[in-house]
Structure formats: structure tokens, C-alpha cells
Chains A and B, each alone.
Chain A
Amino acid sequence: MELDKKQKESLFDALLTYAVKENAINEINEMPTEEQIKEDMSFSAAFESKMQGLIKRRRNKRILKSTYKYGKKVAVFVSIIVSLGFGTLMTAEAVQNAVISTVVEWYEDHNGFIFKNTSSKSDEEILNEAKIKLPSYIPEGFELSESEDYDSFKLYLYKNKEGINLVFNAAVVTDKNETFIDNEYTDYEIIEINGNEVYLFSGKGRDYDYASVIWTEGNIKYEIDSWIGVIEVIRIAKSLD
């Protein structure tokens, strides 16, 4: 039976579709598995920091009651630059150690923190010198549930039996790092912890037990968030060594 042009095309296209699918599956099966790849390569701290903003926001999203609408956000916008020598709050040692400039952007429903390393050192030097401090105090009942643990980036998620999350995150800032904190249901103040200027966001209303602290020390940015109240979060922050 002689096929016309249209029939030939249909037949060819059906086989082409099948061959493309088979080829795609073959190619993906020929790649090493994700687990095998993980053993050989890892992401840099800069990448993890950049991405952790996304993850952290989703993990802690319970505090957000509505979806962001970008257009509305820019209603209130203030930038404060906290740079070297800002600090009546800071000790002389902390001033000397401050190498990260912090730009805080206030929007209607969130704060953006942009940390930029101002030192003239190379990424390698910064990474070699920086040593992330870890909390020596974790409230009773919390156990480590998930973690990303690298020399220059640490993200620990603790959980208790009630399902409350406690997130500790620290990252060496070699270049730039951005973090966003919801402020729609929080009050904001600057406090001092261990000689560092610390941004404290404490929940209000139904989220009264939420607290988040964020600060820099040397080349490192730290964040702690949980629904365990301000006092406990500050206690954890103070325990870093």
C-alpha cells in the first residue's frame, strides 16, 4: 500500500517521538546517580548561602499568612548601611573584626539583609581564616533532624516532639549573601549579644513565640530561628563558641 505524504509524516513523527523518549531515558540512565555524584562534588559555601535563603523561607513559612505580592512590598523602603565603625554598640574587638557591610532593606512585609564582604582578602584566605562557631546550648527536647555541614556553611534543623523547628544557620560570606525575614507578624529591634549588633525579630499576636536573630561576626553571618520564644533564641545565640 502506497502511503501519501501526510501518512508518511505521521509514521515518521510517531517513530521520532518514540526514539527521542528512548534516547532521553538512555542518556539519563547512563549518568551516574545523584548519590554517586554527591560523593565526588559539592557546592561552595557561596552557593549554599545563596540557595539557603529559599529553603529557610519555605521551612519557616508557617509565620507567613499570605503570599507575597511584590508590587505591594515596596511601599515602605528604607536602606540602612551598617559598615565598619558603626558601632556604639560594638566592642573595640568586634569593630576590628567587622568586615561585612550589612544593608538592611525594609519592605512592607519582609526585611532583606544583604551582606557584603568588604575585606580585600581572597575568597580562599577568607575561607581558610573563618571558623564558624556552633551553639553549645540547644533547648531540652530538640534533636538534630536535618543538616548541611561544610567548613564554610552550616545549616542545622532541630525538631522537638511537638514538631517545633529550630534552625541554626551560619555561612562564611566571601562575597555577597542575601537573607529575607518576614516582618509582617514580628516586631524588630537591635540588641547586643557577645559584643555583636544583632537584629532580633520577635513574633506578635498568634506568633508570639517566634523569634529570629541575625548578625555577622568576622566573615561569618549567623541566623537562628524558632518558635520557642525570644529568651531561648537569645540564649542559643549567646552560647556560640
Chain B
Amino acid sequence: MIFYLSLIDNQEDKDKFEYIYTNFRHTMLYEAKYILRDEDMAEDAVHEAFIKIIKNISKISTENRNRLRSLLVLIVKQKSIDMIRKNEKEETDYVENIEKIQDENEEIHDEVLDKVLSIHGVRHMMGIIAELEDAYKIPLELKLFHEYSNKEIAEILDLSEGHVRIRIFRARQQIIKKYEQENE
């Protein structure tokens, strides 16, 4: 713990951490409990999340309360998922596929684009995003909503940059596929 504390090296960041702890720890516990259904594990996940927050405190903005709350929920959600998966092996195909994704962006067909651009297109897409698995949705939100780089996401989620890239790629791919399936 002391090691992580040593990483908070200016007053602004210390105040930021205290603000987060005071105002959002119950939200984080709520999310962790929702996923883990176990009080002790949920507290451990929140604690792990705070350690992660300390490590990344300089990258966290407190300007927008909702956005900050969303970020904290994502971090604790990932920590909770990590606890569930602790003893499970990461899908090996992630590593195998890292190199493949470079030029493999799914072709976006006109039918898909028409649907996205339709009057309820964005709302429909939001529905698809809401249904994505957390493993894909969390990096996607960190990238597109919180505007972190792949490297920063990797640090927050304890993944390699390659894993982050492939998860974001897969998220996008799944959304496109969902549209295509609807057209079939």
C-alpha cells in the first residue's frame, strides 16, 4: 500500500483522491456487489480499484461528476470481473490474434450504414452497445467516452496494449455483425 501512496506526489492529486474516496466509494461498492454478490469480495474489489485509481490518479479528471462516476464504475467493474476470473486462463486466442487485426477491419456494408444513419439508428446502436460483454464494453467506453489511449487503458485494466486493441476491435466487430444479422 505504501508503495502506491508514494505515487501520489502532489497536493492536487491527493485532494483528487480524497474527493473520489469521499464521494464515490459507495457507488463503487454497489457496482462490485452487483457483480460479485459477495460483500467481502466486493470490498476487496473496491480496495483493488482504489489502488488502481491511486496509480492512475494524474490521468483522472474530476471536472465532470457523471463522467468520473462512470470511470470509477468501469474500474471497479473490471476489478470485480478480474476476481471472478482469477483462476481462469485468459483466452489464448487474444494473443494469437493480436497481429491479425491490423488490417482486418470489418467491411461496413451499405445496409449496415443505412441502418446506423436511420432515424433511430443511434438509439438502436446504444442498445447493442449496452448488450456487449463487459470484456469488450469496458475498453470501448474507456477509449471512446473517456478518451484514453490504448496504453492508458492497458494500465487501468492490467492488460497488454495488444489485448486492449483486440478487445476494442472485437467490440466494433460485434456491433457490425449484430447489424448484419438483423438484415439477414
Contact = CB atoms under 8 A, between A and B. Distances in A.
A-B complex is real: yes
16 contacts: A11-B117, A19-B129, A20-B144, A22-B126, A26-B126, A28-B66, A31-B31, A34-B24, A37-B27, A38-B26, A47-B43, A51-B21, A55-B18, A61-B14, A180-B2, A180-B5
Interface string B101-133: 000010110101100110001100110011000
A236 B40 CA distance: 34
**Cβ-closest 7 pairs across A and B:** A68-B6, A19-B125, A20-B144, A23-B126, A37-B26, A47-B43, A28-B70
A25 interface: yes
A1 B164 CA distance: 35
Nearest to B124: A19
Interface of A: 3, 5, 8-9, 11-13, 15-29, 31-32, 34, 37-38, 41-44, 46-47, 50-51, 53-55, 57-58, 61, 67-70, 110, 112, 178, 180
Given A8-B113, A15-B117, A70-B3, A58 B17 contact: yes
Contact of A9 (B54, B108, B129, B175): B108
Given A34-B27, A41-B26, 16 more contacts: A11-B116, A16-B175, A20-B140, A21-B144, A22-B122, A22-B126, A23-B129, A26-B126, A27-B70, A27-B130, A28-B73, A51-B21, A54-B17, A58-B14, A58-B18, A70-B2
Interface string B143-180: 01100000000000000000000000000100110000
Contacts of B31: 31
Contacts of B93: none
Contacts of B130: 23, 26-27
Interface in B64-115: 66, 69-70, 73, 105, 107-108, 110, 112-113
A68 to B, nearest CB: 4
B44 to A, nearest CB: 9
Interface of B: 1-3, 5-6, 9, 14, 17-18, 21, 23-27, 29-31, 33, 39-40, 43, 46-47, 50, 54, 66, 69-70, 73, 105, 107-108, 110, 112-113, 116-117, 121-122, 125-126, 129-130, 140-141, 144-145, 172, 175-176
Contacts of A3: 113
A201 B39 CA distance: 36
B46 A16 contact: no
Contacts of A23: 126, 129-130
Nearest to A39: B26
A67 B112 CA distance: 55
A147 to B, nearest CB: 12
A180 B1 CA distance: 10
